[in-house]
Amino acid sequence: QSFLLQLGLPISCMCRVPCNTMFGSQHQMDVALLDRLIKDDAESGKLPLLLVANAGTPGAGHTDKLGRLKELCEQYNMWLHVEGVNLATLALGYVSSSVLAATKCDSMTLTLGSWLGLPAVPAVTLYRHEDPSLSLAAGLTSSQPVEKLRALPLWLSLQYLGHDGIVERIKHASQLSQRLLENVKNLDFIRTSVEDELSSPVVVFKFFQKYLNRDQTPHVAQTSAIQHPITINEGHIYDTFNQWLGEQLAQLVPACGVDVVELEDEGTCVRFSPLMTSAVLGTEIQDVDQLVNCLKMKLPVLTSTLQLREEFEQEVRRTVGLLYVEDLSWPGLGVVRCNYHSDGKNDDNQEKELEKINAELLKKLNELESDLTFSLGPEFGGQKNCIYIGMVTEDLDVKELVETIAATGREIEENSRLLENMTEVVRKGIQEAQLQLQKANEERLLEEGLLRQIPVVGSVLNWFSPFQASPKGRTFNLTAGSLESTESTYVSKAQGTGTTPPPTPTSSLTKQRHSGQKIFKRSLRNSDAFSETSSVSHCDDLEKMDQRPPTPSPGQEQRPLETENKELPKEVPQAMNKDTEDIQSGASPNYCTNAEEQGSQR
């Protein structure tokens, strides 16, 4: 469009040529279709003028077939213009044939500022001119000093770097891309999108894995992914996961300058273009190695989350009280909502109650000792009143996680209903207490008599014959939900406990864990065997402790008894010896007396 504005032509004069769809690379211009479009324009009286080709697209660094395009332009007398990042490799000693064909074009645009890390440097357009007068007539040359000074920063920078410095920076960027490409190609579940692997300074890759079960091997999953194309929903999920992967890599290794790009045929991908970023960020080989290590660390998390995502959805749909919310833009295990039902409430109150319950549920889940991340989702575009679960590992117990969420949600819902009913219960209890106290007051008046109600006579009568009346009162037991009398409180001078509250039910989901094992983790086989062995040995110890030795007869030796009594206080053995002597001498009355005295002391 910038060319059309400079030439003063409308946008209708521009025609976009699609890429190959049937044969050849899907990232290159369709030469056969271009030939047909040129013929159609010539037959309709239009003049084909200019063809703009790419030697390294901005997104993925793909190069068009410049050789065939040059032949087609010569056939129809058209101008061929080339632009792209791969033009920087023309300064190297080895140049691929696809990029070398760009030297035969009529003009090319070079963005030396981003390639060499030079700020405030304009782009340069080189064009072929056989007659200088034509260039002057077209306005491509100017004698104004201001126009000539625009190229001064670029000229000074190139003079400072020199030929060797320019080649060294471009060569270093190419080595960085080749280093990453060699490591990424050997990783499972990583798909690269590079046309010319030997010379492309741009590396584009993405995470890709077919849905698989826990018993399915990665090799079978990769084979099934090739045989069966992905659906629309799976494509959105892959885009979300690759978006998360690119953001994580950019955050962990900022010196590499990786970013996320959107390609028409590949979807969301991660791009590493050192030619555009290494000169500014100072990217080195060790930074690329660190990027590869971070990628290896993130791949198991991505594969495990994608593997358990479907299982989590099935468990949530089978669980009563939970609602699965499908959000394809969330990079994690999934989204769940506590489905709260309230009768007799309008939509606004129900929405507020739902928001309150899910907020409390999120708070309780974050208080658990687990490696999972629970949140309310993204700030913009997320579902309301939902619990978003982040990335997980392969040892996650999905069933335990879903059951814990459901149990916690039910507990919060019951407590919420209890608080709602508490006001009504307390109000009715106060009214009932007032009625009972009023009735008790009337009964007290009847018991005291009429004379005691007269001011002076009542005081004299109470002085001669005091009336013993216990204070009347009522207490409301919140646990039992009933009214109780306060007579026991005045008698015992202490606050009574009232009805014993029911024991707190322990969750059946809590299972025995080893030291250091966090919640929602599946135990390994070795740890299971260890727990079984430990429980068996513990039972054996209990059986040994229950087997007590028989009591020795008076004629037997008392050495074992003396050994056991060494740890007791000194007074206890003396009393036991005295009792033994009494038994041996037949002094049964004394023994009974001692037993009665000990009983009274107790």
Instruction: Please state, in angstroms and as integers, the Cα–Cα distance from residue 429 to each residue in 105, 166, 416, 479, following that order.
Output: 95, 89, 20, 13
Q: How far is CA 280 from the centre of its chain?
A: 32
Question: Residue 205: is its pLDDT beyond 70?
Answer: yes
228 vs 198, more confident: 198
Question: Which pLDDT score, from 0 to 100, does residue 528 have?
Answer: 43
* Angstrom distance (rounded) from CA 399 to CA 312: 8
Please state which of the ranges 147-156, 268-277, 576-585 shows the lowest mean pLDDT: 576-585
- By the 10 Å C-beta count (0-12 exposed, 13-18 middle, 19+ buried), 87 is classed as buried
> Which pLDDT belongs to residue 376?
87
pLDDT at 309 over 60: yes
Compute the distance between CA of residue 454 and CA of residue 446 in angstroms, rounded to an integer.
14
What's the pTM value of the predicted model, to 2 decimals? Answer: 0.70
Same fold, 169-305 and 311-413: yes
Report phi then psi at 331, rounded to 5. Answer: -85, 85
pLDDT band of residue 290 (cuts 50, 70, 90) is: very high
pLDDT for the residue numbered 554: 42
pLDDT at 582: 43
Which of 532, 509, 513 minimizes the C-alpha distance to 522?
A: 513
Q: Would you list the domain boundaries of the chain?
A: 2-161, 169-305, 311-413
CATH superfamily of 169-305: Aspartate Aminotransferase, domain 1 (3.90.1150.10)
Comparing C-alpha atoms, which of 347, 314, 275 is closest to residue 112? 275
- Does the structure show a pLDDT above 50 at 474? yes
pLDDT of residue 470: 61
Distance CA 92, CA 39 (A): 38
210: confidence class by pLDDT, cuts 50, 70, 90: low
- Confidence (pLDDT) at 83: 92
Distance between CA atoms of 133 and 343, rounded to whole angstroms? Answer: 88
Q: Is 1.20.120 the CATH number for 311-413?
A: no
Residue 258 banded pLDDT, cuts 50, 70, 90: very high
pLDDT score of 546 = 46
Say yes or no to pLDDT of 226 above 50: no
- Is pLDDT at 18 greater than 50 in this prediction? yes
Per-residue DSSP letters for 389-423? E----TTB-HHHHHHHHHHHHHHHHHHHHHHHHHH
Which is more confident, 96 or 289?
A: 289
Instruction: Band the pLDDT of 543: cuts 50, 70, 90.
Output: very low
Q: How confident is the model at residue 565 (pLDDT cuts 50, 70, 90)?
A: very low
What integer best gives the mean pLDDT of the chain?
A: 76
What pLDDT does residue 263 have? 86
Q: What is the pLDDT of residue 36?
A: 92
pLDDT tens, position by position, 445-472:
777 776 667 777 677 777 767 766 666 6
pLDDT, tens only, 148-172? 788 888 899 999 999 999 999 999 9
Percent of the chain exceeding pLDDT 70 equals: 68
Number of other residues whose CB lies within 10 A of the CB of residue 2: 6
pLDDT in tens, 381-416: 677 889 999 999 998 999 999 999 999 988 888 877
Q: What percent of the chain has pLDDT over 90?
A: 33
- Average confidence (pLDDT) over 121-135: 83
Better pLDDT: 381 or 230: 381
Confidence of residue 302 (pLDDT cuts 50, 70, 90): very high
Q: What is the mean pLDDT of residues 98-109?
A: 91
Least confident of 122-136, 237-251, 312-326, 391-405: 122-136
Which CATH number does the domain 2-161 belong to among 3.40.50.170, 3.40.50.720, 3.40.1360.10, 3.40.640.10? 3.40.640.10
pLDDT at position 511 over 80:
no
- pLDDT computed for residue 120 by the predictor: 82
